[in-house]
Every structure is written in structure tokens, then in C-alpha cells.
Structure 1
């Protein structure tokens, strides 16, 4: 069984590598999730084997009743004369009518019109599926059923309201699609839906997909996801989920949280320290002491601490925190969604210099908002240093975005934009005010949950000497190229 799972993971990796040109992509985990569909058993009546379009039939009936000119037919049917001309041209090409002095039906046309008028309606029950996330109607499915009762936390919530049994008004908007799908059921030339008689049965069923988490390479700590079913990447499902996220409906978040608790350790998501005083133990200690100090301001704490001096406890913790901050140079801890705010505030508030180092560049991070703020900063004569580049990253970068940055570096002498040989660093320096060392990719991620799932952690340094060391470490990356 383990060998089977390993083989499946290898298949997932190979598909991700080919699709996104990521030769070193690594699958971390895969989890079954339930995708909801409303199943409809509908009784309906339709005509099959209709060889003629409705407009063709009406025009041929007019000709058969000696309305032989375009204007006469258009006037009788209340249709545009140009449209009648198009229908007539189509009938002529099919040899259903002739154009001599007047329009006449051919023998083939007479037979087709007779066949059209003797069709008997058919009534039967058909099964259709409504995608409960995007509302798309389909006539069949191949996915495995998902047990939503025993896996409630992994079943996606329904977005589209389920039609009610016996209420055909709930599916009126689907009539046109039902008629098209009936065409697939039958090998006839044409189907005409006469009416939907009733909804005999309706229920919701979850179908199994696989949520696959992966990294671009072994050094990259970003975790991204893809949707698989039947062994293949399912772009349509991924697109639907991303559109829902854009609308604020974060349907995968509960599943991501469950995976984070069960499978992923935040310890592994912190960037390897650039400066020796920064390490994971110091980060944990600062967070722990900060949380304790904040808890002293909680009114409930006073109930549990009747026999303790709040002031003494706070003073003791504050001294301990100041000591570890002084030793580690760590001033504050920041998490995923705070990074981009710090980046943009740096652009707005810097007085002298800014440095950004990040391995990759992507257009959805360095977007129009980013470029606009950057150019405004350059117009304020702020010196901006922006370095990127990691081994094997050429196919992972957005070349159009890089070209825009290169054009800005040509236009502004105070913008130094360079590709370095190989760095996995992510740093941000603002004057001598602060520096950030983090796992967050400033130039390839904008902390948008509908694009990817990840947890990022960074530290802020306010010690002036350490900030200068951080800045110089970035400059040294370019000197290594010489």
C-alpha cells in the first residue's frame, strides 16, 4: 500500500513539474476532499430527430403556402429581411428549396418538412448534475463518491442553492442547457425541449478530489496547492475555487487549517537565518514572552492571579523580553499578512534607502500597485536596491515583469535592479530604521489566500549596527558576481 501511495505522489510531482516547468517540485501531502454536486432526476418532454432549425421550418412552411418572396416571408413572420435571406441561403445550400422565378420546395425539402411535422413527443426521466460551487449543469460524472458524513471537515460547503423537489421554477435558467445536453443523449439531428414536467428527486452528493500540497523545490518553504482527480490536474475546479476566494468565500481555509495542525510544523517554515544572532529558539522566546505580557492586560487574568502582583510579574517578564531582544537583535515578530503592509509602508516612508532581496519575481506580486508605489518612491529620489535570483529559477520568473523593472532601472539612476547568482534570502531594509529577515518572498508572493496556502514568519531588527550588517550582506551578493 505504501508503494502505491509513493507511486501516486511521484505521478503528481511529474504532472506539476511538467505543467509549471518546475523540475524540482516536491509533493508534501495529499488529502481527499469532497466537491459538492446537486443530483437532479427530472421528468421532461421533448421532440427528437428534428432535422430543421425552427427558423428554417417556418420559412419552408411559408414557401409551401406560396409566400415565395423574401419581403412577404419577413412581413408574415415579423422577422428582419436580412435574417430571412440568410435562412434562405442555408436552405438553398442544403438543396431543400430552389430559386427560380420564385422560391419553391424541392422534393427533399417536402420530405424534410413532412418528417418535421409528424414527430411524436417523448417523455422520460433524465439525470443531471449541478456543480454546487459554480452552478454549471452537466449530464454525467466519473468521480468517486466522497463520504461527507464521516469526513465532514473535508467536505466543501455548498454555494449554489439546491433546487427543491416539485419546484420546476428553480431550474428554469437551466432549460437551454438541458436541451443541449439532451442532444448528447440522442444521436438525432436535433432536439427540441417542449417542457420540464417535474423534479422527481433531488439530493446533494460529494465527489472525491485530491488536494495536493507541494513546494517548488527542496529549499523553498512556500507551500502551494493543486487539485487532482482521476490522476490528472483539474484546472476547472481550481479556477472555480480561486474565483470564490476572490469573492471572499474561502472554502478551503478549514481544510488548510486542519492540514496545518496535523501535518505541517511552523518550525520548518522559518527562513534559515542570515545573521548568526537570529535563530528559531530566539523567535519562539520573543513570541512566548510577548504573549505572556499581553495576557496580563486580560481582565480574566486578575481573577486567576489574586495572590500575585501584576506589576511585578509584568516587570519581570518585560526585563526578560528586553534581555532576549538585546541578545538576539530581534525587535518584533511578524506573520504572513503583515509583510506586504511593511513593504508598502517602507516605500512610502523611507527617507534615504530601501533594499529588497527575494529569490523569485512574479507578476501577481510585482503588480501595478507595486510598480506605481515603487515609481513614486523613485521620484522622491530614494535609493532603491532590488536583488533577485536563485539557481534554476529562470523558468519560474515572470519575464515581462522583470523587463518592466529593468526599464525603470534604466529610467531612474537611483534604482539598482540586479539578478544575482544564487540566493534564497528574503530581506527588507528601510533606512536605518529597521530590517526584516523572513521566509516571505516579497517579489513573488502577495499574501493572497486564493492563490496559494502558506504560513510565513519574519523578524524585525531595529539595532542600527545589525541593520547595516544586513544591508551589506545584500550588497555582497552582487559583488560575488564579479
Structure 2
């Protein structure tokens, strides 16, 4: 046992470059997974995805503008632009004054056929804590002998045998996994239906929960997750996100961790609370409300019922916004616009955090706009840097930003050791947390479309927390 503790201690010390870390205790626990046996029906060997086929057929029937196609299909314009970008890159569509199918596109559409559907049973694994679905686990990594009392408490509701409605939200994931299961098959797979959940049961992946202090004099106790002798950051990330939501799933196992002690700083709680599913829910509810508010939908006889439905949806939207602090969901081009908006409208302070800096963004126009911001006496903080990023940064752009720093006292341009965070803060008016790399991705509509997602936060305390956290990256 002493040798095992020493080994764990050495790994923690090496991982965190902390020679004084000491391990207090360790305990095996079971990380819960649900094993699902699903009866599926799907179409394979299709040349096009369904939406790609719809877009091609729209063009052949005279809808030759992106807005015409998006209006006809009933989708957002940026979604149609994304599909068109892919079709153009494959030389299936050409974009001149109007959209037009190439000869390759015409031939491919003519040959497109719907093959006989395939029905078969496949096994999937559902992470019971973070809801991630996979089909690649080997049963060898599970240890079903672990008693449930030693397991991390289950959070997700277990899908029920025979109740396919419990998996409706996982249809896109299942379709993606079916596609990835055969890397040699370049053609798409389209999931038609989950016919039945034939079997579902719990199994446990054995983990080792290690309790330690960063140095002997610390009162604060920390923890780490090991699996097969290695630190597993993904499991820890899931557990910390649940902690941020108030689900302290490790408390029954280690009572030494104080009940009311948050495991992360306030900003990490903010960012951890921004879950992908919450973003999707906000976007879906907003789109549905906008759709119902469209005057074309208001048939006189349905006026009252529609108003009630809108009221209910608004209440649901407000509730999730309040819980997650998400004010609005934005996409690629909108995010770029908000960066320019922050540069031109900030009155007191502006913060930009982005891992990389490249010349296609930090160009003459950007630098000119930034200098105008500095001349308005706005305090500007630009923070960049991620481990191993030196070769990906543009030295000339960095030099130009350093020149601005030398000429203006109100700009702080600093490199942090290792941060993948992307955020902007404009006064106390708004903050954006996103996947968009503000200083290295231009979002040029003339180039291949890349969907990036962001959330706008308008709560003043949340903005302040994010700002202080950004400052701490370089303190």
C-alpha cells in the first residue's frame, strides 16, 4: 500500500510540477456507464446527406439564392450557407451570380438512390454522469464486481428497456457513431429509427480517487482521478462540472471535503455552467418563439392558443437563462461582429483572451481600430498564449501589438503560460465565452464556412468574475 501511495504521489508531483505534494489517501470507486443494446434501422452508402440532397434539388428547381433555399426549407440562412460551402468545395455546386449545379453535381444527383434499409442490433455505452454516448469501449475496462456503494452516484436517468423515447435526443450521436464505425466507407449513413432498446444495464469503470495536499502545510485538500495508473482529466472535468451545478457526488465517499466548499473559482463555475445542451436549448426555444411570433403563423382561430404557447416557451427560456446566465446564443459571423462592436463601443475597459495571434486577423485594419480604441482612453487587456503555440503565432503581429503597448499606457498586452479560453469583455455591458479564436480566425464569408458557437453574458457580477479571472491568467 505504501508503494502504491508513493507511486501516486510521484505522478501528482510530476503532473503539477509540485515536489511537495503529499497523498493522504486513495479509494477505488466505480464510474457508472449504461450498456445499451439497440435495434436500429439505417440507410448506408448514400452519396449525400439528406439536407445536401434537398439543397441540390432546390437549385435544380429554380431556387438559386441561399435565402430562397433557407426560406423554402425553413432553416436559418447560416445553416444553408454551411451546406452550400461544403457542396462548392466538392465541385458539386458553383456560385456565380446565381447558384448552379456543376456537371459533377448533376451526375451525382441523378445517380443518388435510396438503398434498402439495414436493420441490426448494436451495442452502445452511455456515460451516466456526462451523457456522452460511445460505441468504442471494450468491456475489459469495466469491472462489474465493484459494489454500488463504492460507486460515484448516478446522475443521468437510466434509459428504460423498450422505451425508445428515452433516446430521442441521442439520435444525432447514434448516427454519427454509425458513420465513424466504418472509416473506410466515405459515404454517409442516415439513421431512420431506433426500433427498440432491447437491453440496458449498469456497469462500472474502476477509478482510483486520490486525496492529496499541494504541500504539507496546506489546510486545503484536493483530489485527483486515476485510471489504469494514469491521471484522467476527462473524468475530473465531468465531476467538477457536476460540482459547479451543486451535485457533490464525491461527498459520500470522502467526508473530509467540506460540504460547502466550491471545488473551483467563481469563473470556472460560470464557464462550467455553460453546458452544450443548455446552449442548444436556449437556441431552440428562441428559434421556436421567433417562429411562432411570425405573423404568418397567426391564424385567427388559433390566436389564443399560440399566445399561450409563446408565453409558456418564454417562461421556460427565462428560467434556463437565469440558471445558466446565458443571455443569447450567437454563431460565427455574429461573434466576429461582436469583437468589432466591443472595439468601437467600449468606453472604459476591453478584454480579449485568445490562445493564438495570426496576421489574417491582427492586420492593418484591426490595429487601426484598436489604436482608435486606445485613443479614447479605454483600458485594453489582450491576453494570449497556450502551451506549444509559439510556432503558430505570427511574430510580426505580436511585434505590432508590443509597439502599441510601448506607445500607449492604457494597453496591457501579455502572454499567459497555457490557456485555451476565448472571451471578450466590453465594459460591464457584455461578455462572450465562445469556441471562436478572436485573434486567429477571421470568419471570412468568402472562405469555407466553419461553425463556431458563443454565448453572451450580461449579468454584471458574472462579467466582473470573468474579468478578474482573465487578469489572474497573467498575475
Indicate the TM-score class for this superposition, using the shorter chain for normalisation: 0.3 to 0.5
**Superposition TM-score, scaled by structure 2 size:** 0.47
**Superposition TM-score, scaled by structure 1 size:** 0.47
